[in-house]
Amino acid sequence: MIIAPAATTHQQLSDEEQIASGVTKDLIRLSVGIEHIDDIKADLQQAFDKIHSVKNGGGKEPAPVNVGAEPGQPGV
C-alpha cells in the first residue's frame, strides 16, 4: 500500500503540525509484506521505469530513479 500521509492519516493537522511531526506534502509511505527487499526494489524500479516510459512516448530508457539509494541521495 502506498499513501500520502499529509492527505490521509495526518490531514486533520495544520501545516505547521504536520511539519513538526515530520510529514511533508511530498512524503509517501510504503507499506509492504514479508517479501525480500531485493524483490521490493525490483518491483518499484519496474513501476518507475514503466511510468517514465509512458511519459516519454514509450522509450526504453530506465527512469532516473535509484530505488536502492539511501534517503537523501541522488535519484531518491
Which is nearest to 51 in space by CA: 42, 64, 40?
64
Residue 55 is predicted with a pLDDT of 74
Return the domain boundaries, the chain. Answer: 1-31, 36-76
What does the pLDDT look like over 12-70, one tens digit per residue? 999 999 999 999 999 989 888 888 989 998 988 898 888 888 777 766 666 666 666 55
* Model pLDDT, residue 76: 43
pLDDT at 32: 84
Q: Which residues pair with 2 in a beta bridge?
A: 30
Decide if 43 contacts 33 (C-beta within 8 A).
no
Cell matching residue 74: 541522488
What's the grid cell of residue 61? 530508457
Q: What's the pLDDT score for residue 9?
A: 94
Which amino acid is residue 63, in one-letter code? A
